[in-house]
Chains A and B, each alone.
Chain A
Amino acid sequence: DAGITQSPRHKVTETGTPVTLRCHQTENHRYMYWYRQDPGHGLRLIHYSYGVKDTDKGEVSDGYSVSRSKTEDFLLTLESATSSQTSVYFCAITKAGGRYNEQFFGPGTRLTVL
């Protein structure tokens, strides 16, 4: 499982409330990612980080912000959750130094916005 944990694993919240999802890794990997998975869309990249305090946008970044204050934690924040952000969120890491910088995924967080 590449030493990745996500918390919480399930969350139900109401429209307009802030939500923060946490990704924690134990193996000191440089690159971390947040994806969302929706039926009919596969996985779509929200944001990624290439180091502490270094982040960049993915293809569906609107409505999301991220922070990485230390190597092991990558936080995804929905400032004001909307029903369209109901999804399963996956964190991933790249094992830099591997053959082709393969990405490995965490177990996911199921978020429901009512």
Chain B
Amino acid sequence: GENVEQHPSTLSVQEGDSAVIKCTYSDSASNYFPWYKQELGKGPQLIIDIRSNVGEKKDQRIAVTLNKTAKHFSLHITETQPEDSAVYFCAASIRSNFGNEKLTFGTGTRLTIIP
């Protein structure tokens, strides 16, 4: 099955600087790559996603890049703010025979923004 590795496990960044989180996946059939943000005591929240036919996608201060050949994708957060502090998860997905996405998650990155 799919295996997703995520690095680093913890990341501290000065407020205003950029943060980058990287993930690799193993199954070349994976074609959908969402990123989730999880705040303490809450469920994961989808923040951005990318399909395998796209190399880069941006939404305000966050962007995701995908390299299908190397099987890796990254989350970039620019101009970090204290409210960006959370745990971030990447995931890779294969469409099931029933039409839904079966997600395999990375192990998470705890991002701390230092004021």
Contacts and interface: CB of A to CB of B under 8 A. Distances in A.
A40 B107 contact: yes
A103 B98 contact: no
Interface string B1-25: 1001010000000000000000000
B107 A103 contact: no
B98 A90 contact: no
Nearest to B45: A105
A63 to B, nearest CB: 19
A103 to B, nearest CB: 6
A41 B6 CA distance: 11
Interface stretch (A14-22, A70-78, A93-101): A93-101
B79 interface: no
Interface range on chain A (Cβ under 8 Å from partner): 20 to 34
Contacts of B100: 30-31, 48, 50, 94, 96, 101
Given A40-B107, A100-B51, A100-B101, A107 B42 contact: yes
Interface residues of B, number: 27
Contacts of B49: 100, 102
A91 B4 CA distance: 21
A45 B41 CA distance: 19
Given A48-B100, A102-B46, 15 more contacts: A31-B98, A31-B99, A31-B100, A42-B4, A43-B44, A43-B89, A43-B105, A48-B102, A50-B100, A58-B102, A59-B104, A96-B100, A100-B49, A103-B103, A105-B45
